[in-house]
Structure 1
Amino acid sequence: MIRTSLLLSSTLVLLSGCASIPEPLRGDFPTSTPAQADGNSQAVRWGGRVIDVLPESGQTCLEVLGMPLDASARPLDLDADIGRFRACKSGFLDPAVFISGREVTITGRVDGEVTRQIGDYSYRMPKVSVDALLLWPERPEIEQIRIHSDPFFGPWWGPAPVVMYPWPLARPHERR
C-alpha cells in the first residue's frame, strides 16, 4: 500500500512538471498563420509580440507581430515572423501593461482584414475578435558566467576545463 501511494505521488509530481497549455487557450485550432489567413471566420490560436495598442470606444485592439508557438502555446523567442495581425478585445486593455515587446497569445475568430500604412507600404493583416487573451510574464535575461579552474589542480593532466553556468542577470526592471 505504501509502495503504491509513493509510486502514485511521484508520478503525479513528475507529470505536473510537463508543459501544458493554459486553460483559456486550450482547444483544437488549425495550424494557419496570420500570413495565410483568408478573412473567413475560422477559429485561431495565434501569438507573438505586441507592436502597438489601439484603444477604441468599447474595445481595445493590439497589433501583434505573429510568431510560432511552442508546446505550451507561448510565442517562441525567435526572429521568425509569420505575419502581423490585429487582435480586438471588448473592454479596455491598459497600454501601460500591454507595452511594445510583451508576448501575448490569443484565441478567437478571424473577422475580416484591416489595412495599415507602415512607412510607404500598405500592409493588409487579419483582424481577430478575441475570445481569450494571455499576457505572458517577461522572460528573465540569462548570462553565461565563465569559471576558470586552477590549471595545476584539475582532475586531469593539463589545465582544467572552463565551466559555463547560466545565471540570471540581476538588473533593475526596465521597460522597453
Structure 2
Amino acid sequence: MKSEPSALPPPKRQAGALFSAVILLLAGCASSQVPPAIGKAPEKPILVAQVQQEPDRFLDRRVRWGGTIVAVRNRKQTTEIEILSRPLDSGGQPRGKEPGTGRFIALLTGFADPAEYPEQRLLTVTGRLKRVETRPIGEYPYPYPVVAVEQPYLWPEPSPSGPPYFYPDPWYYPWYSPWHPWYW
C-alpha cells in the first residue's frame, strides 16, 4: 500500500527552517538601533550655513545635524565636540564621503570621554541651537553654531570591505590548478 505524501516537510527540514529563522531574527535584534529622534528627518531642515549667516533667526530651534568628529574638549561641566558637518541620508547618518558643509559644536552636559568619541568617527545629534560663537581656525575667525545636545548617536565603524589584494588568496596563481588545461 502506498502512502500519500504529506503536506508537511519532513521534521529535519522543519527544524532547519526554524533554526534559520531564529538566527535571522537574532541577527536583526543584535544590530544597533538608531534612536527615533536621529532616524526621523525634521520637516524643515536647517543648514549650518543658514545659521552662520542669520544666527538670530534660528536661535532655540531644534536641529538634527551630523558629520565627522574633529575634536573633543572637556570643560568643567560640559563636553564640546567639534564636528565637520556633512549631509545626512534619510536615516540620519552623515555621508562621510561628501564634502563638509561647515562646522558646529555639539554641547553635551557632563563628562564625555574622548576615547568614546574618537576623531574621524561619524556622529549625529539632535538638540536646540543655543548660540553662535566665533573661534579661530588657524588665524581665521570662524562662526560655530552651538547645539545643546538632547540625543547623540555615534555611528558604528564600517567593517572592512574585503582583502586589500586582487585575488582571494595571496598565494593564488590562476594557471596553477589541476582543473586548468595547462596544468598537466
Same fold (TM over 0.5): yes
- Match status 1:68 vs 2:87: yes
User: Contact between 1:35 and 1:125, CA under 8 Å: does it hold in 2?
Assistant: no
**Superposed CA offset, 1:76-129 (max 9, x none):** 121411110001011111011111111100000111101111111011111101
- Of 1, 24, 34, 2:48 maps to 34
What SS class does the counterpart of residue 146 from structure 1 fall into? Answer: coil
Name the CA distance, whole Å, in 1 between partners of 2:90 and 2:98: 18
- Mark the runs of 5 or more structure 2 residues left unpaired by the alignment: 1-20, 168-172
The letter of the residue matching 2:46 is: S
Name the CA distance, whole Å, in 2 between partners of 1:74 and 1:27: 11
User: 1:88 aligns to what?
Assistant: 107
Greater helix content: 2
Name the CA distance, whole Å, in 2 between partners of 1:58 and 1:49: 23
Normalised TM-score (structure 2) = 0.66
Q: Please state how far the C-alpha of 1:26 moved relative to its aligned partner.
A: 4.3
User: Contact between 1:49 and 1:104, CA under 8 Å: does it hold in 2?
Assistant: yes
User: 1:23 aligns to what?
Assistant: 36
- Mark the runs of 5 or more structure 1 residues left unpaired by the alignment: 1-8, 155-176
Farther-moved stretch of structure 1 (74-83 vs 31-40): 31-40
Name the CA distance, whole Å, in 2 between partners of 1:46 and 1:21: 14
What SS class does the counterpart of residue 166 from structure 2 fall into? Answer: strand
Normalised TM-score (structure 1) = 0.68
Aligned residue-pair number = 146
User: 1:146 aligns to what?
Assistant: 166
What SS class does the counterpart of residue 61 from structure 1 fall into? Answer: strand
- Match status 1:137 vs 2:132: no
CA 1:143–1:28 in structure 2 vs 1: closer, same or farther (change >3 Å)?
Answer: closer
- Of 57, 65, 74, 1:55 maps to 74
CA 1:134–1:81 in structure 2 vs 1: closer, same or farther (change >3 Å)?
Answer: same
User: Contact between 2:105 and 2:146, CA under 8 Å: does it hold in 1?
Assistant: yes
Kindly report the root-mean-square deviation, in angstroms, between the aligned alpha carbons of the 2 structures: 3.2
Between the two proteins, what is the percent identity of the paired residues?
32
Name the CA distance, whole Å, in 2 between partners of 1:27 and 1:125: 24
The structure with the larger Rg is: 2
What SS class does the counterpart of residue 114 from structure 2 fall into? Answer: coil
Greater strand content: 1
